[in-house]
A and B are shown apart, each in its own frame.
Chain A
Amino acid sequence: MSVFGMSRTIMRNLFSGPATRLYPTREKEPHRAARSRGRIEIDIEACIFCSACAKRCPTDAIIVSKTDKEWNIDRLRCCTCNACVEVCPKKCLAMGNRYTPPTVTKDKDIFRQPPRPPKEPETIPGA
């Protein structure tokens, strides 16, 4: 009797097609709720290099250099906790819902702010 318990499920599967995707040919769509914590994206133009994100990061994945106007992230260290996004005063960080693609090297992602054309020479208010 009960040896056939599985056959109904198997028959159903036979007609409903595979439950898996043929990765990497077909990638998974990001969730409709768009909440997935995939990877950190930065709008480098808006960053003021205050280092708040680097200080809050529990894994020390972010290194900010004010002098070089450089923001870099070690994606393999990042645990996508979202803490940096919450703390950024300029809201220039965002949690993208795509994962970082697999990698074979431990490189950092470096973002540099392009030098701006000088608007008012010398006096920068509040600096």
Chain B
Amino acid sequence: MGTRTVIPFGPQHPVLPEPIHLDLVLEDEKVVEAIPKIGYVHRGFEKLVEKMDFNELVYVADRICGICAFIHSMAYCQGVEAVMSVEVPPRAEFLRTIWSELARLSSHLLWLGLMADAFGFESLFMQSFRIREKIVDMLEEMTGGRIILGVCRVGGVRRDVPNDALADIVRRVKDLGVEMHRLADVFLQDDSVKHRLVGVGVLIRDQAAELGCVGPMLRASGVSRDTRTLGYAAYGSVDFAPIVEKDGDSYARCAVRIRELFQSVDLVAQAASKIPGGEVGVKVSGYPEGEYHSRCEQPRGEVIHYVKGDGTRYLQRYRVRTPTFANIPALLRMLQGCELADVPVLVLTIDPCISCTER
């Protein structure tokens, strides 16, 4: 047994977009244990809830995270709508679905870019971001916001998109699909990329399920679980099956996200072709009384928004369980026994979003 050294990793680290600190216990170049420390960007969100009107809280929910912003606000609105028994118009449900999928595209492309950066493929990183930029532009065109869309509200959405504009978006997203194929080829077939990903950080099916993984992490280990199959928003009316890979290594996680890109393109097209006409929002009166667990599938996995109201303007309790929080135990398991040089890649494969974990 060699001597053990503890080296700090983070909270500031070139590959980390967000602050998480890991104490890595090393034996030579092998990690034997990793001890996480979070709490660098805690913002006291759960306290804020007590003095912010439940309608205005949507703007805050939108800002829990800078990447899955829209899905956070949607999950929050769904929760409040369920508590207040508000019926959301079908057109709004479809628009929410379309925006969720575009947000997923933008998030997965961002992840692919960061991943390429982590294993040192700078130009691939730029290519991912070039494609992502076009998705973000489309979101801006439809909603006015690029990342934080600010279009969800309790009772529906705040902006409608005309059908011809939607058709145009679908055409452009499909065109981007071709460019994504080229990108995907590099990620999935390039030898130098494979060399960094295949067999790194293997998490077998049972471990993934036992450690409570969610999202692409779980699906890459062969568990077919996707919250979208619950059929929230308009997911009940579109046709899709969760994307599953078997191997549970970093390559499989990359493959799941890449295949989800194409799935999202397809879902946007399906939703746009089936979108009904009509209103995009209903007026909501009264105050929420009761509680609800709202669940949505974010790009990173399942998010749970717990909403409890006591019949006043202010919610009594609001808690968010984010996907990254659920994936950290699995990350620690993967880090045990890996090489030091693989740590950045492994940290990135869970697609960490620390600021939403800490709220």
- Per a CB cutoff under 8 Å, which of A2, A10, A19, A59 touches B191? A2
Secondary structure at chain A's binding surface: helix, strand, loop or mixed?
loop
Task: List A residues 49-83 near B (Cβ within 8 Å).
Answer: 58-59, 79-83
Contact with B along A1-19 (1 / 0, CB 8 A): 0110110111000000001
Contact A5–B141 (Cβ < 8 Å): no
Is A35 touching B143 in the complex (CB atoms < 8 A)? yes
Taking a contact as CB atoms under 8 Å apart, the answer to whether B59 and A6 are in contact is no
How many whole Å from A79's CB to the nearest CB in chain B? 6
Q: In the complex, A3→B52 CA distance in Å?
A: 54
- State the CA gap A9–B141 with chains docked (Å): 27
Residue among B124, B141, B158, B183 making CB contact with A82, cutoff 8 Å: B158
Does A33 have its Cβ within 8 Å of any Cβ on chain B? Answer: yes
Query: Secondary structure of the B side of the interface?
Result: helix
> What's the minimum C-beta distance from B262 to chain A, rounded to whole angstroms?
17
Is there a chain B Cβ closer than 8 Å to A98's Cβ?
Answer: no
- B150 interfacial by beta-carbon distance below 8 Å: yes
- Tell me the A15-47 residues at the B interface (CB within 8 Å): 19, 31-33, 35-37
Q: How many A-B residue pairs have CB under 8 A?
A: 61
Q: A9-B182, A35-B159 are in contact. Are A79 and B59 (CB under 8 A)?
A: yes
Residue of A nearest to B133 (CB): A19
Looking at B60, B124, B130, B144, which has the most chain A CB atoms within 10 Å of its CB? B144
Report whether A10 and B123 are in contact in the complex, using a CB–CB cutoff of 8 Å: yes
Interface pair B189/A5, CB less than 8 Å apart: yes
Q: Which residues of A contact B (CB under 8 A)?
A: 2-3, 5-6, 8-10, 19, 31-33, 35-37, 58-59, 79-83, 95
B residues contacting A by CB (< 8 A) are 52-53, 56, 59-60, 63, 123-124, 127, 130, 133, 137, 140-145, 148, 150, 158-159, 165, 182-183, 185-186, 189-192
